Amino acid sequence: MNTKPVVELENLKVRLGRREILHGISCRLGVSGTGKAVGLLGPNGAGKSTLILTLLGFLRPSAGSARILGLDCRRGMGAARSRIGYMPENDAFIGDMTAVAFLRQMAELSGLPPKAALEKAHEVLFHVGLGEARYRELRTYSYGMKQMAKLAQAIVHGPELVVLDEPTNGLDPAARRRMLKLVGEMKNEQGMSVLICSHLLRDIEQVCDEAVIMKDGAIVHQCNLEEERRSNRRFVELEVTGDDGNLRAALPEIGAEGVSEGGGRWRIVLPLGVEFEAVWALAARQNLLVRKLTHRRDTLEEIFLKAMGHLAHTPGEQLGT
C-alpha cells in the first residue's frame, strides 16, 4: 500500500521579490491513495495561495523542499500533470468554447487521448449537473454553473489529488450543498485525495479529515478532525433530579465513567459506540429525572480562533482539546 504523504514540506521558504511569504514551514499532510481531504485555513495574507501555487509548481521555493504525491515541486511537476487536478479560485475559461469542448481540451492537456477525453468530458459534465448545458458557451453560464465547470475540468482526467481553491465561495445554499456533496463523493467513492483552501470553517469541518491553520506565512496549528469528532462525542454533561448516590457505581453497565460535581451535575465519559440514549436509559433505571444532557466539543471555529490568538486557552492546553 502507498503510504507516502500527499504533501510533504520541509523548512519551506518562498519569497516574492524581497518579501518572504512562507517562513520555513514543515508538515506532512494526508496519505496517498486513502481518499482523505485536508483543509487549508487562514486569514487573508496567511500564505495559503502562495503555498498552493508552490505545490503546483508555479512558484519556486527559495529554501527548503516541497513534495506533492512524492514528487519534487521544483522538478517533478511534468510527471504530476496527469495525477493532479486544480480548481482555481478565479475563472480561467475560454468564454466562447462550449463546456464539453473546454473539458475535452483540458483532459487532453492532462494526458488523455482525444477519444477518451471527449467521453470523460460528457461523463463528468453530467456528474456535476451540467449535462443539459454542456453545448452552451461558457460565457453564458451563471456563477454557480461556472464553479461546477471549474470542478469538472479539475476531475475530468481522474486525478489522484484534487486541489480546490475556495470551491464554495459565492454559491447559494443549494449550490454549496451540491458542491460539498460532490467533494465527499470524490474522496469516499472515488478514493481521490483532496486539498481544500477555504475561509469557510463549516465547509472544512463538514468534508475534511485534517485541517491546517496558517497565519503570517507559518503553520500555527494542525489537527486530525476525524479524531476530534470521535473524541468530542465522548464527553457528556448530565444534570439530574433525584437520589444519584448510586449513579457512579452504575455507569460501568454502559462502559462509562463519571465524576459528580454535586447538585445532580455529572461529567461522564462515554466509550466509542455508546450513544446518548444509553445515558437516558441508565438514568431511568436509577429513577432519576434528566434535566440536562449535553456534549461539549471544541468546534473548528474555536480551534481556529485559538490559533489566531483571539481566544485564550489555559497554559499547557493543546489546541483543539
Q: Name, in order, each residue with C-beta under 8 angstroms of 114's C-beta and a sequence gap of 6 or more.
A: 104, 108
Rounded CA-CA distance 22/16 in Å is: 10
In three-state secondary structure terms, 229 is helix
Fold of 7-223: Rossmann fold (3.40.50)
Question: What proportion of the chain, given as a percentage, has pLDDT over 90?
Answer: 61
pLDDT of 274: 84
Q: What is the pLDDT of residues 190-238, one digit of tens each?
A: 999 999 998 888 899 889 999 999 999 999 988 888 776 665 556 788 9
Does pLDDT of 12 surpass 90?
A: yes
The Cα-based distances of 234 to 247, 257, 276, 314 in angstroms read: 18, 10, 9, 22
pLDDT of 62: 94
235 versus 122: the higher-pLDDT residue is 122
Return the C-alpha cell found at 2.
502507498
124 versus 233: the higher-pLDDT residue is 124
Rounded CA-CA distance 82/112 in Å is: 8
299 versus 155: the higher-pLDDT residue is 155
119 versus 276: the higher-pLDDT residue is 119
Q: Which helix (H) or strand (E) holds 9?
A: strand 7-16
Would you tell me how many other CB atoms lie within 10 Å of the CB of residue 237?
14
State pTM to two decimals: 0.75
DSSP 271: P
Q: Which CATH number fits domain 234-295: 3.30.420, 1.10.1060, 3.40.50, 3.30.70?
A: 3.30.70
In three-state secondary structure terms, 112 is coil
pLDDT of 233: 54
Closest CA to 163 of 57, 62, 72: 57
How many CA atoms, within 13 angstroms, populate the side-chain half-sphere of residue 316? Answer: 0
Q: For the chain, give every residue range classified as CATH 3.40.50.300.
A: 7-223
Return the C-alpha torsion angle 296, 301, 307, 309, nearest 10.
-100
